[in-house]
Amino acid sequence: MKLSESNSKFNTGDLLKELTAIDGISSDEKNIADKLMPYLDSVCDTVDKDTHGNLIGYINSKNDNAKTIILEAHMDRIGLMVTKICTDGRLKFTNIGGVDERILPLSEVTVLGKKHINGIIVPDDSNDASNNNKMESMQIETGLTEDEVKKSVKVGDYILINSEYTKLCNNIVSGGAFDNRAGIVSILKAVNQIDRNKLKYNIIILFSVQEELGLYGAYLAGKTIDADAAIVVDVTHGETNDTKDNTGVFPLGCGAVICRGPNLHYAYTKQLIDASEKNNIPYRIEVASGSSGTNAWALQTSSDGIPSMLISIPLRYMHTNVETLKIDDIDATANLLAVAAEGGVDI
Amino acid sequence: MIAELSTSFGVSGYEEETTQIIKSTLTELNINHYCDKMGNIIASEYKDSNRPTILVSCGIDEKGLIVTDITENGYLKFDTIGDIDVKSLISKRVKSKEINGIISLKAIHLLSKEERERKVKIDDLSIDIGAIDKKDAKKYVTEGDYFTFDVKYDTLGTSQIKGKALRRAVSVNVLLNTIKNKKFKDVNVIYVFAVQNEIAARGIKTYLNTMQKIDMAVVLDCVEANKENKTSLNKGPIIALSNNDTAISKSIIEDINGYDIRHQTAYVSDITAAEVFRGVKSDIPLITIGIPISQKQTPINNICINDVDNTERLLNRIAEEAKKSC
């Protein structure tokens, strides 16, 4: 099986940059869904969007009676929400999803009101300097008066934590929402490099909503999709200078991280590992004794059960605006997904 | 101009890029200037010895980071140059002249409860440039290299500007505009664009050590607007008062209070250049003007545009009155 890069329409980094420039905070995924729709249209036989906002694309195999495999990645990203407009034009806010509040002081944000306005998160004057800043003691400086703010912003509007796609050395890049736009890129790359004549299974691409709130999108989609297996793609923790004492962290560049444990189908997962070996795709093994913390947890027990696998892309500084990964790991994941869909995993 | 001054690379001790901008502007304005041994840029408009001589100075450097060590796995340990609130560094983007980096601290999911509650210290942080190991990192960086913050300059809302190094950006801008508009008409004037203002104002110190006689000095800087000194943004430049103000300084300040220009007065301690000045030249009347700034000790600052405009107006007015004051 050839897995030539030239088969792919996309430059991985360019697509990642394009997708991470879009908002799509959990439960307000319209803009990222609109962005992804043409990409799905170009590879799928049909594409649906359910009431909750999940995108579901169908690619049919030429085999009669082909089984169906889901390739899933969530498209939402974490963010903030306006809780109060203060008399000095500043905003109070809360989190949507697991925001790391240590990074918030002096972060730049975009308030996604009727008209977008820019802001900077500032710690309160009276904040105790001896401790890390707490979200309750921070405000967003807008440079506007209360009246000016109220023309564009309402309580409940969502707030994007700004990020900038930045190249470091060794094909390592940094930016926001790599969790899990990186997973989406790997799936789009995979389905674009699959040889349709070799496609053993029907593929359902599921780009789900509200993962960061509690896997809600996948729970809901799982109820209506009939499939024989699922491969969930998400991110896992990348190794950094200060993670020597942590387990479950993976060096950037190690390839696709395949998860084992009761959340994942035992035999299919073993086959994924074998397929990586056979096709010289770099990989590592991660273990989860309970929940994998990903949509595999939701899909595994949806309706009558969907046997699930999990492939993760190692990522440093998860849930910050400088999430960092190595492009090669997205490509390795794409290659493994393509191999699996072409029959590398026997479901 | 403020944008260019903000984004230029000019960390204390390595101000070359900012220096070039100032020098080329002075050249365009056809103003005599030179760099002294410390790196300060001295511009002067000397008319004749019968007129009083005024010194006007501001700092041209910015806070930043310096690489202290490169770890075996290719991360850079660093120290801060100038006072920086360490908590504000986490996950910020930085750059050297050669390479991009980000301030690295492991993901919150990987912290123990105890680690989550502990205040982040500079030793917890490092710069991630994506290097594989020490040898790889050495291709791009060496111990002692400087990093600055990678922050875009922009307006914020209708009334403010935001960016890195606004302290020097607005101060230098006000001074260059004053020179351009030839406001100090009736006096001899020496402008000092001082290096290392963030490092105990050591640039202006060396200049003052060797300086000829002057009759009055104006030090321009930024002052953190806060509840403590009862100052805030958008209320005009802050005339900084000191217990060591001479009688002449006090009378000039009294005159200024009579000008129809919006300003604030406060006892402030964070204009080091003024303290240095008093230490070296205690007998010379000194006026210290602070442009109100928010978040001075962090990678990104904001300043009110009106305050910058009013500072320029105030300095111009002081210039017009200078001959009388001396």
3-class secondary-structure state, position A201 = coil
Do A155 and A21 belong to one domain? no
Of A137, A161, A185, which one is at a domain's C-terminal end? A161
Q: Which of A100, A168, A321 sits opposite B100 (nearest CB)?
A: A168
Q: Measured between CB atoms, does A292 come within 8 Å of chain B?
A: no
Is A110 among the domain residues?
Answer: yes
Do A24 and A104 belong to one domain? no
* Distance, CA of A311 to CA of A259 (rounded, Å): 6
- What's the helix, strand, coil split of chain A in %, to 5? 30, 30, 40
Is A170 among the domain residues?
Answer: no
Tell how strand B188-194 and strand B160-163 pair up: unpaired
Do A59 and A154 belong to one domain? no
Q: Chain B 141-180, CB below 8 Å of chain A: which residues?
A: 150, 154-160, 162
Do A238 and A335 belong to one domain? yes
State the pLDDT at residue A320: 96
State the pLDDT at residue B9: 98
Q: Measured between CB atoms, does B106 come within 8 Å of chain A?
A: yes
* Distance, CA of A43 to CA of A31 (rounded, Å): 20
* Distance, CA of B137 to CA of A286 (rounded, Å): 28
Residues in contact with A76: Cβ distance below 8 Å, sequence separation at least 6, in sequence order: A24, A25, A26, A27, A29, A32, A97, A208, A209, A210, A211, A212, A213, A217
Q: Measured between CB atoms, does B104 come within 8 Å of chain A?
A: yes
CATH number for A89: 2.40.30.40
Q: Which of B101, B110, B162 sits opposite A168 (nearest CB)?
A: B101
- Quick one: tokens of B286? 């000194």
Average pLDDT value for chain A: 94
Q: How many CB atoms lie within 10 A of CB B227?
A: 9
Q: Which of B87, B91, B154 sits opposite A132 (nearest CB)?
A: B87
Do A193 and A324 belong to one domain? yes
Residue of B nearest to A253 (CA): B132
Confidence check: pLDDT of B243 > 50: yes
CA distances from B232 to A139, A146, A311 (A): 16, 17, 52
Residue of A nearest to B107 (CA): A317
- What's the helix, strand, coil split of chain B in %, to 5? 30, 30, 40
Which tens digits make up the pLDDT trace of A37-74?
999 999 999 999 999 999 999 999 998 899 999 999 99
* Distance, CA of B224 to CA of A258 (rounded, Å): 51
Which tens digits make up the pLDDT trace of A130-176?
667 788 899 999 999 999 999 999 999 999 999 999 999 999 999 99
* Distance, CA of B243 to CA of B249 (rounded, Å): 11
Confidence check: pLDDT of A7 > 50: no
Q: Measured between CB atoms, does B93 come within 8 Å of chain A?
A: yes
Percent pLDDT > 70 in chain B is 100
Determine the average pLDDT of the residues in A184-210. 95
* Distance, CA of B16 to CA of B185 (rounded, Å): 30
Is A280 among the domain residues?
Answer: yes
Do A194 and A295 belong to one domain? yes
Q: Measured between CB atoms, does A130 come within 8 Å of chain B?
A: yes
Phi, psi of B121 (to 5 degrees): -110, 165
Q: Using pLDDT thresholds of 50, 70 and 90, give the confidence band for residue B322.
A: confident
Answer positive or negative: Cα dihedral of B235, B237, B240, B245.
negative
Is A44 among the domain residues?
Answer: yes
Tell how strand B238-241 and strand B264-267 pair up: parallel
Put simply, the answer to whether B128 touches A89 (Cβ < 8 Å) is no
Q: Chain A 93-122, CB below 8 Å of chain B: which residues?
A: 98, 100, 102-103, 105-108, 117-120, 122
Is A167 among the domain residues?
Answer: no
Q: Is omega for the bond preceding A180 within 30 degrees of 0, making it cis?
A: yes
* Distance, CA of A322 to CA of A316 (rounded, Å): 8
Put simply, the answer to whether B128 touches A324 (Cβ < 8 Å) is yes
What DSSP element (H or E) covers A13? helix A12-20
Residues from chain A contacting residue B73 (CB–CB below 8 Å): 241
Do A38 and A138 belong to one domain? no
Put simply, the answer to whether B158 touches A148 (Cβ < 8 Å) is yes
* Distance, CA of B194 to CA of A270 (rounded, Å): 66
8 A C-beta contact, residue B11 and residue B17: no
Do A56 and A197 belong to one domain? yes
Residue of B nearest to A115 (CA): B157
What is the full DSSP assignment across B255-280?
Answer: HHHHSSS--EEEE----HHHHHHHHH
Among the ranges given (A313-322, B25-34, B165-174, B274-283), the one the predictor scored with the smallest mean pLDDT: B274-283
Is A169 among the domain residues?
Answer: no
Domains of chain B: 2-62+164-325 (3.40.630.10), 65-149 (2.40.30.40)
Phi, psi of B217 (to 5 degrees): -135, 145
Q: Using pLDDT thresholds of 50, 70 and 90, give the confidence band for residue A126.
A: low
Determine the average pLDDT of the residues in B171-178. 97
**Counting Cβ atoms within 10 Å, is residue B52 exposed (0-12), middle (13-18) or buried (19+)?**
middle
Residue of A nearest to B109 (CA): A318
- Quick one: tokens of A98? 């697991």
Amino acid (one-letter) located at B302: N
Do A263 and A300 belong to one domain? yes
ipTM of the shown complex: 0.92
Is A181 among the domain residues?
Answer: yes
What are the residue ranges of helices labelled H in chain B? 2-7, 16-28, 113-117, 134-137, 166-180, 202-210, 247-258, 272-280, 305-325
Do A51 and A184 belong to one domain? yes
CA distances from B259 to A221, B217, B254, B255, B291 (A): 70, 19, 9, 7, 17
| A interface test, pick of B75, B83, B98, B108 with most A CB neighbours within 10 Å | B108
Of A130, A161, A192, which one is at a domain's C-terminal end? A161
State the pLDDT at residue A9: 67
| DSSP assignment letter at A77 | B
Q: Measured between CB atoms, does A245 come within 8 Å of chain B?
A: no
Determine the average pLDDT of the residues in B54-64. 97
CATH number for A225: 3.40.630.10
Do A224 and A340 belong to one domain? yes
Confidence check: pLDDT of A195 > 90: no
| B interface test, pick of A88, A138, A242 with most B CB neighbours within 10 Å | A242
State the pLDDT at residue B308: 98
Is A300 among the domain residues?
Answer: yes
Residues in contact with B309: Cβ distance below 8 Å, sequence separation at least 6, in sequence order: none
The shortest C-alpha distance from B216 to chain A (Å) reads 36
Total count of domains within chain A: 2
* Distance, CA of A15 to CA of A19 (rounded, Å): 6
Angle in degrees, CA B258, B262, B266, rounded to 5: 80
Only one residue has tokens 């082909």, namely A66
Confidence check: pLDDT of A8 > 60: no
Which tens digits make up the pLDDT trace of A61-108?
998 899 999 999 999 999 999 999 999 999 999 999 999 999 999 999
Do A253 and A108 belong to one domain? no
* Distance, CA of B249 to CA of B210 (rounded, Å): 23
Q: Which domain holds residue A48?
A: 5-77+176-344
- Quick one: tokens of A347? 């479901």
Residue of A nearest to B227 (CA): A125
8 A C-beta contact, residue B2 and residue B153: yes
Q: Which of A133, A317, A321 sits opposite B87 (nearest CB)?
A: A133
| B interface test, pick of A122, A135, A317, A324 with most B CB neighbours within 10 Å | A317
The shortest C-alpha distance from A190 to chain B (Å) reads 26
Q: How many CB atoms lie within 10 A of CB A305?
A: 11
* Distance, CA of B128 to CA of B130 (rounded, Å): 6
Confidence check: pLDDT of B72 > 50: yes
- The edge-to-edge listing of strands for the beta sheet with A46-49 is A46-49, A55-59, A202-208, A68-74, A229-237, A308-315, A256-260, A283-287
Of A161, A186, A221, which one is at a domain's C-terminal end? A161
State the pLDDT at residue B283: 87
Residues in contact with A72: Cβ distance below 8 Å, sequence separation at least 6, in sequence order: A187, A205, A206, A207, A208, A218, A230, A231, A232, A233, A295, A299
State the pLDDT at residue A125: 63
